Amino acid sequence: MEILISSSVWDPKPWVEGLSKSELVDKIHVWPTDNDLSNVEALFVWKPLDSGVIERLPKLKWISSLGAGVDHLMGDPQIPADIPITRIVDPFLAQDMTNYVIMGLMMYQRSISTHLANQKSKVWDRIGYKPLKVGVMGLGALGGHLAERLKILGFEVCGYSRTLKSLDGVACFDQSGLDEFLSHSEVLVNLLPITNHTIDILNACLFSKLPDSAYLINVARGNHLVEKDLIDALNAGKLSGALLDVFREEPLPEKSPFWEHPKVSITPHVASVTTPSSAIKLLLKNLDLLVNGKELLHRVNIQNGY
């Protein structure tokens, strides 16, 4: 089978090297290319496709995102409705995301940035800390893994998802229980996908339903967050701080107030990055299923948008 890889931000080399070891793979093309693409049957994509890619792939049978998110593919008018789209669900992705959130949570709970600043000025201040209730928005491959690990670490955890979940020791809420979920979330972690229903969900109204001085960790997508509402909530003291890994515009523009806000910590969309060697196993498994006419793993529900 011939494959096309399109990623405007990642080095295609590890993907090409890993995939080309499979007997199922005849040829790998990397976008942009002048090659004849008329025999390409599988398209692996990270970041939005350039216009005109799909019309060069008359035999296309399958598209996979190279990450967990598929927002770069949803609503792209050049993608035919009948082409299955899959995404990466991978143990390393879940483990890395969980570790990142735990890092952010612990740094907040134990006032680590203040201790580091105090060290610089030789200040000995034994700042207290308290147990935290953590709310995880989105209980899918990443949020579900996180909620279970947080519980094991001794946090009181509640979770929120579209359909009601049952996770050991985690108080689960569906959409009808959003307000109650928020009222318990002293730290709110966003791991929802971006859809028509979740865009701008982190806004002033939602913040007003959190306990006073709540802390926000946004590791899902920048478009979930109304940035001005966050700045206002931080400045008013409604929220005590935020750790942001994702932004409406990436790289974060120099003029963004987040760079210098004293209550905001930022990282450049590195919470959890796909590990090619591991994700390639899933891509090859799906390639095998495709060749054998079977249902692909981790197929996106286009109606739901994730």
Task: Give the catalytic positions in this structure.
Answer: 221, 269
* Neighbouring C-alpha atoms within 13 Å toward the C-beta of 36: 2
* Binders of ligand NAP in range 93-112 (CB under 6 A): 93, 97
**Among the listed residues 7, 109, 195, 275, the single contact to ligand NAP using CB under 6 A:** 195
Selection from ligand GLV, ligand NAP, none that 222 binds (CB < 5 to 8 A by kind) is: none
Selection from ligand GLV, ligand NAP, none that 29 binds (CB < 5 to 8 A by kind) is: none
Closest distance to ligand NAP from the beta carbon of 255 (Å):
22
Candidate segments 21-29, 216-224, 249-257, 281-289, binder of ligand NAP by CB under 6 A: 216-224
Residue facing ligand GLV at closest CB distance = 67
Kindly tell me which of 141 and 264 has the beta carbon lying closer to ligand NAP: 141
Closest distance to ligand NAP from the beta carbon of 257 (Å):
21
Work out whether 135 is an interface residue with ligand GLV (CB under 6 A).
no
Selection from ligand NAP, ligand GLV, none that 163 binds (CB < 5 to 8 A by kind) is: ligand NAP
Work out whether 68 is an interface residue with ligand NAP (CB under 6 A).
yes
Work out whether 69 is an interface residue with ligand GLV (CB under 6 A).
yes
Kindly tell me which of 59 and 285 has the beta carbon lying closer to ligand NAP: 285
Work out whether 271 is an interface residue with ligand NAP (CB under 6 A).
yes
Work out whether 193 is an interface residue with ligand GLV (CB under 6 A).
no
How buried is 82 (Cβ within 10 angstroms: 0-12 exposed, 13-18 middle, 19+ buried)?
Answer: exposed
259: nearest Cα among 294, 231, 217: 231
Burial call 93-128: b when 16+ CB within 10 Å, e when fewer:
bbbbbbebbbebbebbbeeeeeeeeeeeeeeeeeee
**Among the listed residues 15, 19, 62, 67, the single contact to ligand GLV using CB under 6 A:** 67
Closest distance to ligand GLV from the beta carbon of 183 (Å):
29
Selection from ligand NAP, ligand GLV, none that 220 binds (CB < 5 to 8 A by kind) is: ligand NAP
Work out whether 141 is an interface residue with ligand NAP (CB under 6 A).
yes
Query: Binding pattern to ligand GLV, positions 257-286, x when CB under 6 A?
Result: -----------------x------------
Binding residues for ligand GLV, rule CB under 6 A, total 4
Work out whether 138 is an interface residue with ligand GLV (CB under 6 A).
no
Q: Which H, E and C letters describe the chain, residue by residue?
A: CEEEEEECCCCCHHHHHHHCCCCCCCEEEECCCCCCCCCEEEEEEECCCCCCCHHHCCCCCEEEECCCCCCCCCCCCCCCCCCCEECCCCHHHHHHHHHHHHHHHHHHHCCHHHHHHHHHCCCCCCCCCCCCEEEEECCCHHHHHHHHHHHHCCCEEEEECCCCCCECCEEEECHHHHHHHHHHCCEEEECCCCCCCCCCCECHHHHHCCCCCEEEEECCCHHHECHHHHHHHHHCCCEEEEEECCCCCCCCCCCCHHHCCCCEEECCCCCCCCCHHHHHHHHHHHHHHHHCCCCCCCECCCCCCC
CA gyration radius for the chain?
Answer: 21
Q: What is the binding site for ligand NAP (CB under 6 A)?
A: 67-69, 93, 97, 138-143, 160-163, 175, 191-193, 195, 197-198, 219-221, 245-246, 269, 271-272, 306
Q: What does the binding site for ligand GLV look like in residue numbers (CB under 6 A)?
A: 67-69, 274
